[in-house]
Amino acid sequence: MKTYVIISLSIIVFLTACKPSKKEIDKMLDKAIEKIINSDNKGALEDLNKIISYDKDNYKAYYNRANTKFNLKQTKEALSDYNKAIELKPDYADAFYNRAFCKQYMNDKAGACNDWIRAAALGKHDVNDEIKECR
């Protein structure tokens, strides 16, 4: 029993010691975004998966992973990540805006329109052209 407790504590200490700091995670996120900008979506996806494994509440990681998955035409998976980003940050206008394009691509015009309207209500600029498509 004593050995089991010591081993369990050792594993917990090891796992917590391996988790990067918030600053390190932010640097990892910046590198992943740079990969997206440079069209290295597969590399970005690997990085973003790693970030999320360290920080399950990182709404920016879910948002950027959604963008990456959308770029890779993994629309159902992208939609799921946009939903998670919005769940974690309900006032995330950019997530609503980009989720709308994902819904539009999936032929959900009503859902896309609702998201564009929500993005505008949250302060997203330049949504008027998209909202006009809803009329």
Give every CB contact of residue 57 below 8 A, 6+ residues apart in sequence.
88
Sign of the alpha-carbon dihedral angle for 134, 118, 94, 25 = negative
Where is 123: in which H helix or E strand? none
Percent of the residues in the chain that have a pLDDT greater than 90, as a whole number: 81
Output the six-digit token pair for 119.
């993005």
**C-alpha span between 134 and 129 (Å, rounded):** 9
Reported confidence tier of residue 19, pLDDT bands at 50, 70, 90: confident
pLDDT tens digits, one per residue of 44-98: 999 999 999 999 999 999 999 999 999 999 999 999 999 999 999 999 999 999 9
**C-alpha span between 82 and 118 (Å, rounded):** 14
pLDDT of 135 reads 83
**C-alpha span between 4 and 7 (Å, rounded):** 5
Number of continuous H segments (helices) and E segments (strands) in the chain: 8, 0
